[in-house]
Copies of this chain bind each other. A is one copy, B any other.
Amino acid sequence: MVNQWLNVRSLISEEDLYQIYKYENINEYLKFHPVNVVEHARSIEKWIDIPTPVLESYKMIGRQTPLVRAYRLEKQLQTNNKIYLKREDLLSNGSFKITSALPQAYYGALEGKKSVFTETGAGQTGVAAALAARLNGLDCKVFMVRTSYELKKLRRLMMEMYGAEVLASPSKDTKAGRALLSNGESNGSIALATSEVMECISENSDSFNIAGSLLDFVLTYNSIVGLETIKQLDEEGVQPDIIVGCVGGGSSFGGFALPLIDRYKGQLTQVICTESSSIPTLTKGTYCYDHPDGEGLGNKLLMYSLGYDFKPPAMHASGLRYHAASPIVSYFVNKGFIEAKAYEEKEAMLSAIDFSRAEGVIASPESSYTIHAIKEICHEYDNKNIVAVITGNGQLDLESYGVFL
């Protein structure tokens, strides 16, 4: 079993790190995150030991996840490439998100915190936070963007199954929420849900936030996805040629691809990250200093961005609805180690439907972009070993697929 995380900051020179983070005030994180987590965010050590209780909780929720050869997809695509899929969809909560939520909850509990506040859009982050909190004996309150609260009832029920209290944001529980509600604005946004969370944490010193993406420590905790993949490839005697995943904030892709880039550097034909052509952060965004939040309040980071005030359109793969991409992933894209590709929603969703008919796996809409990329790669290349990550399962997104059936 993999028992260390790979610190993604360690893959970048100190000089470059300074450039990326020169406006960041890492101590700000201490207001909202456990001390150990912030230590990891600022560390440049390459390896971080995973505490035994976290290893046990990883095992409990289904880690290590299988790496499977997709024989039937290969047959469907009539390709002689070999396709390997890292199956994060098989985790109990239904997505990779629990992988970074568990250590955050563990360190919070270790430091005497009693409760978690977290924001969620479509619900995957909230589900992971709810489960991680519960497994570590913490209370959990989730502020869920009201439109999702109403439309994504099953994800809300899943959080409640895990014992979390779920509030529609804007809520009456916070000043920020009440202000909007009194103006007759009730649809909410992830930015507002975040404000509600920050207000609650500021007023409750026993509480903290579980972050779902973007921040380096989230990618570092997710590095176990890539490290397991390396171990599994070694066991099969397989040398990867092409790496594929999707990018919203970049936390699954970073956790999956960066350990592979580190291990196989110079030997990979291509590393591809996919995104939606409606939110083309990495293919059409600018590499610049921008705010990570939607209100322009957070310290600027060097990353690809469509502008902090970009309003992501509604889409089925709601996990890809973010205006920027993780600074670390952005760095590797900028240096040319990772190539970004954008696809239309319809072509991606149709490829995922074909995939379900080949492999029996209902992938999350986010992963449909990865599946579409695999198809494209198979047109372009022969005799390669393609390694891709399926980030989550799409059983609760079947209505989205229904639109394309």
Contacts and interface: CB of A to CB of B under 8 A. Distances in A.
B92 A162 contact: no
A199 interface: no
A17 B91 CA distance: 43
B396 A162 contact: no
A157 B361 contact: no
Contact of A134 (B135, B162, B357, B393): B357
A370 B136 CA distance: 25
B357 A161 contact: yes
A95 to B, nearest CB: 12
Interface in A50-100: 56, 59-62, 66, 68, 71-72, 90, 92-94, 98
A405 interface: yes
A179 interface: no
Nearest to A395: B395
Nearest to A89: B92
A12 to B, nearest CB: 34
A45 interface: no
B60 A71 contact: yes
Given A160-B405, A399-B157, A360 B72 contact: no
Given A161-B353, A161-B357, A360-B135, A72 B60 contact: yes
A362 B393 CA distance: 14
A61 B72 CA distance: 11
> What is the oligomeric copy number?
2
B360 A154 contact: no
A359 B399 contact: no
Given A56-B71, A162-B357, A360-B60, A157 B401 contact: yes
| Interface SS majority for chain A | helix
A163 interface: yes
B72 A161 contact: no
A72 B157 CA distance: 21
A398 interface: yes
A158 B362 contact: yes
Interface residues of A, number: 40
A25 interface: no
Contacts of A387: none
A336 to B, nearest CB: 36
Interface string A146-183: 00000001100110111100000000000000000000
Interface string A92-129: 11100010000000000000000000000000000000
A349 to B, nearest CB: 11
A160 to B, nearest CB: 5
The CB with the most chain B CB atoms within 10 A, among A72, A135, A398, is that of: A398
Given A60-B72, A131-B360, A360-B61, A158 B90 contact: no
A266 interface: no
A60 B70 CA distance: 8
B162 A398 contact: no
A356 interface: yes
Contact of A72 (B62, B135, B153, B395): B135
Closest 6 CB pairs of A and B: A92-B360, A157-B398, A161-B356, A154-B398, A163-B357, A157-B402
28 contacts: A59-B68, A60-B72, A60-B359, A60-B360, A61-B360, A62-B90, A72-B135, A92-B359, A92-B360, A94-B395, A98-B360, A131-B360, A134-B360, A135-B360, A153-B399, A153-B402, A154-B395, A158-B395, A158-B398, A160-B405, A161-B356, A161-B405, A162-B356, A162-B357, A163-B357, A393-B395, A395-B396, A396-B398
Interface of A: 56, 59-62, 66, 68, 71-72, 90, 92-94, 98, 131, 134-135, 153-154, 157-158, 160-163, 353, 356-357, 359-362, 393, 395-396, 398-399, 401-402, 405
